Amino acid sequence: MSISSVFEPIRLGAVDLRNRMVMAPLTRGRSGPDRVPNALMAEYYQQRASAGLIITEATQVSEQAAGWSETPGIYSEAQIQAWRQVTDAVHQQDGKIFLQIWHTGRASHPDFQLNGARPISASAIKPAGEVHTPQGKKPFVTPRAVSLDEIPSIVQDFAQATGNARKAGFDGVEIHGANGYLIDQFLRDGTNERQDAYGGTIENRTRFLLEVVEAAVAVWSADHVGVRLSPTNAFNDMRDSNPISTFTHAAQALNTYNLAYLHVLEALQGHMLAVEGERVTPYIRQVFQGPLMINGGYDAVSGAAAIANQEADLVAYGVPFIANPDLPERFAKQAPLNEPDPSTFYTRGAEGYTDYPFLDPLITAA
């Protein structure tokens, strides 16, 4: 079948995209212990600038937000200036790039926290499993339920990160509300047992997400802001008793803001992630009035079909973009794809990062 639908241009909020193939956010851990982006990262993203849109790896909004080693931040002047080399590199290739802003919540560990503090969450519920800390793999700990008077400062961290992303030259931001991180911990009833205005009803569990969105769009207009959700993703020991109700309510509530897009993670391949229950995306499609982006195991044909059938407006590709910096060209030419090397996904340096070959031998990969 024709895959022409993925190559149609689209306007996302204030940003015009040349195609509907999005590079999904992918944690790669190449920022170094100071969490400052670098020239290698600029090269990596520039190589992939033929995507209609690049969404960066998840990026901490504060020191407290950290939960992975050597992931980047957007809370210091040094980080802002360093991200500028990335955005400049992408824009030199006529690419578009959004920064994904992130707080890990309970998916962190005292080893990442100031003075070894316990990480925060919606409720004091310990996730099963282990976390990779700077001192090695350790079991998750029981988080501390964040107090009411702390919430405004965390919301402000997201607002500040949005303003900082604008200063760094990004085309927009994506608020990370997925994959068992802090916003998701408020949304789902498996991690939120609060008895106050942020817990209990679906409306209350959605409140933190909406406050973050409201703060972000106050700093940068809504047509530069997207949101990512993952209704049935069990990663980080997540569950919800009724994901269809929870996430259709959240999607409907987001209509108020006229966001650039909503990004729904349906599934991810690999040992880290599991998916349970019915697909929620068709229900979200019915209620969300803006552009819808989907992600999770799509290839050229299935992605194009989803767009042609109006199941979504854009398709985000993750692992295929790791191994194929020129993925749109490969799809267009029906060329074979490079095989990804999972052993280098989270290592350091150029190997498995900027050295995957291009179709065109005149383009060097390193």
User: What are the pLDDT digits (tens) for 252-281?
Assistant: 999 999 999 999 998 655 434 445 556 899
Q: How many percent of the chain have pLDDT more than 90?
A: 89
Tokens of 14: 């204030």
Q: Per the domain annotation, does 24 fall within a domain?
A: yes
- Segment 139-150 mean pLDDT: 98
Q: Per the domain annotation, does 366 fall within a domain?
A: no
Residues with active-site annotation: 181
Q: Per the domain annotation, does 357 fall within a domain?
A: no
Q: Per the domain annotation, does 363 fall within a domain?
A: no
Q: What is the pTM of this model?
A: 0.96
pLDDT of 65 higher than 70: yes
Q: Per the domain annotation, does 350 fall within a domain?
A: no
The radius of gyration of the chain's CA atoms, rounded to the nearest angstrom, is 19
Q: How many percent of the chain have pLDDT more than 70?
A: 95
pLDDT value at position 234? 83
Q: Per the domain annotation, does 285 fall within a domain?
A: yes
Q: Per the domain annotation, does 179 fall within a domain?
A: yes
Q: What is the CATH number of the domain that holds 81?
A: 3.20.20.70
Tokens of 58: 């998840």
Alpha-carbon torsion, ordered 62, 229, 7, 329, to 10 deg: 60
The 10s digit of each residue's pLDDT in 105-122 is 999 999 999 999 999 999
Domain count of the fold of the chain? 1
What is the domain extent for residue 89?
4-344
Q: Per the domain annotation, does 355 fall within a domain?
A: no
